[in-house]
Amino acid sequence: MSGLLAGSTGVPAPTPGVISERVPADTLGDILTVRPPTGRVEADPTWDEAPVLLHEVLDGHYHRLVLHSPSIASRARAGQFVMVSVPSRGGAKILLPRPMAIQRRHPERGDIEVTFSIAGRGTAELARIEVGQSLLLTGPLGRGFEIPDATSRILVMAHGSGVCAVLGIVEDAAARGIPTLALLSAAMRSAVVGERDCAELGTEAIIVTEDAGSNTIPAIDRLLREHYRTDRPSVIMVCGSSALTRAAVALGVDWGIPVQVALEAHMACGLGYCHGCAAPVAASSDRASSDGATSDRVTSDGAISDGATSDREGPLVCRDGPVFDAHVPF
């Protein structure tokens, strides 16, 4: 979810089977549906000029910010995001805010954390922010992850900065004493996000990286099937790679468990009123079965949405997601 509008929108298509960061959501359009309503009431978003308490550059690649925003920290749920407005200075004018996953919540201190890499003009400008300056945040936004009832074990799988989106679930699971395994993928060993967070939360993490040759889909599949030989997880939550998402769905189908996936999208408002982040996702999950793992993704009128039906608007990533259900293609 980091730096989604930075630079160009022309994201190259990922190579099948290779985990690539910043994958476009449309490569997953055939397996996603809007999650059925849960009746859960989300807190109204708010906005804050949030002071930057910490700006840490991780291995010269990722920028981690701790931001003081008590109103957002106290409302945010796992998997929700904030819109981060980019301050104008020195002639640089960044018009649109950047959506970023809320990586960590510290409601007792009133802080949240986000992590991003420089992907274009906006994130390059954000990377210059200094401790003591403030960033305008709007949030928390969107429908986050939901831990199903009677969950005994959780598997989270994420690549690159996509890890940020699933760490809220790691926090919640740790607080509720639900055993969780975090599969953290990255291109390089030095660019793994979330390792320290998992250690801090007492959550087991498995690191897979391209430079070690360990983050191929077959290797990950083998590793996880071995890990869960006896006791399987109750749910899989995934972000940051379409290949990883497809691997998660394959496991979810075999194990008969739901898979939830957090998407990236280009956004302007984050609230839903600009209608800019059309999600290539089925507009309705009327026929989704309760276990969520193996149902069709056909809308009630039989149409498959590509984000632009002729007479009915499809889902928006910001309002109906960013977390969607992933189902096996039929």
Partner 1 sequence: MAALAGATPATSAALAASTTIARITPDLDLSVHIGSLVLETPVMPASGCFGPELGRLIPMDELGASVTKTVFAEARGGNAAHRLTEIPAGMVNSVGIPSSGAAGYLATQHPAYLALGVPVIISVGGHRHNEYAPLVVDLQGAGDAYELNVSCPNLDREGTAIGADPLELARVVADVRRVTTKPLIVKLPSMLSSIADCAQAAEDAGADALCVANSLPALALDPRTGAPLLGNVMGGLSGPSIRPVALRLVWLASRAVGIPVIGCGGIEHPDDALEFFAAGAKAVQVGTASFARPSAAVDIARGLRDECRIAGVSSLADLLAARAR
Q: Which residues bind partner 1 (CB under 8 A)?
A: 5, 8-10, 25-26, 44-49, 71, 85-86, 93-97, 121-122, 134, 136, 138, 265-266, 268-269, 271-280, 306-314
Query: Minimal distance in Å, beta carbon 50 to partner 1?
Result: 9
Integer Cα distance of 227 and 130 in angstroms: 42
The three state secondary structure string of 232-298 is CCCEEEEECCHHHHHHHHHHHHHHCCCEEEECCCCCCCCCCCCCCCECCCECCCCCCCCCCCCCCCC
- When the beta carbons of 170 and 278 are compared against partner 1, the nearer one is 278
- When the beta carbons of 111 and 172 are compared against partner 1, the nearer one is 111
Q: Which distant-in-sequence residues (6+ apart) come within 8 Å of 250 by Cβ?
A: 221, 328
Integer Cα distance of 264 and 281 in angstroms: 13
Q: Which distant-in-sequence residues (6+ apart) come within 8 Å of 264 by Cβ?
A: 1, 4, 22, 23, 24, 25, 162, 317, 322
- When the beta carbons of 198 and 267 are compared against partner 1, the nearer one is 267
Query: Minimal distance in Å, beta carbon 280 to partner 1?
Result: 6
- When the beta carbons of 20 and 185 are compared against partner 1, the nearer one is 20
Query: Minimal distance in Å, beta carbon 78 to partner 1?
Result: 22
Query: Minimal distance in Å, beta carbon 103 to partner 1?
Result: 21
Integer Cα distance of 207 and 28 in angstroms: 24
Integer Cα distance of 243 and 36 in angstroms: 24
- When the beta carbons of 206 and 271 are compared against partner 1, the nearer one is 271
85-109 burial: b if 16+ Cβ within 10 Å, else e: bbeeeeeeebebbbbbbbbbbeeee
Q: DSSP characters for 184-236? A: EEESSGGG--SHHHHHHHT-EEEEEETTTT--SHHHHHHHHHHHTSSS--SEE
CA angle 242, 243, 249 (to 5 degrees): 85
- When the beta carbons of 137 and 191 are compared against partner 1, the nearer one is 137
- When the beta carbons of 46 and 214 are compared against partner 1, the nearer one is 46
Query: Minimal distance in Å, beta carbon 118 to partner 1?
Result: 16
- When the beta carbons of 37 and 213 are compared against partner 1, the nearer one is 37
Query: Minimal distance in Å, beta carbon 55 to partner 1?
Result: 19
Query: Minimal distance in Å, beta carbon 183 to partner 1?
Result: 28
